Amino acid sequence: MPENKRISKSTLRLKFKNKADFTKADVLWMDKHDWHPVDELPLKKSFVKSVLKSRSEKTTPTSIEALFGKHKKGSKCL
pLDDT tens-digit readout, 21-32: 999 999 999 999
DSSP string, 7-76: HHHHHHHHHHHTTPPPPHHHHHHHHHTT--GGGGSPPPHHHHHHHHHHHH-----SSHHHHH-PPPTTPP
Q: Where are the domains of the chain?
A: 3-56
Any idea how long the chain is? Answer: 78
pTM above 0.75, yes or no: no
- Show contacts of 41-48: CB within 8 Å, 24+ apart: none
What distance in Å separates the CA atoms of residue 14 and residue 37, rounded to the nearest whole number? Answer: 9
pLDDT tens-digit readout, 6-19: 778 999 999 999 99
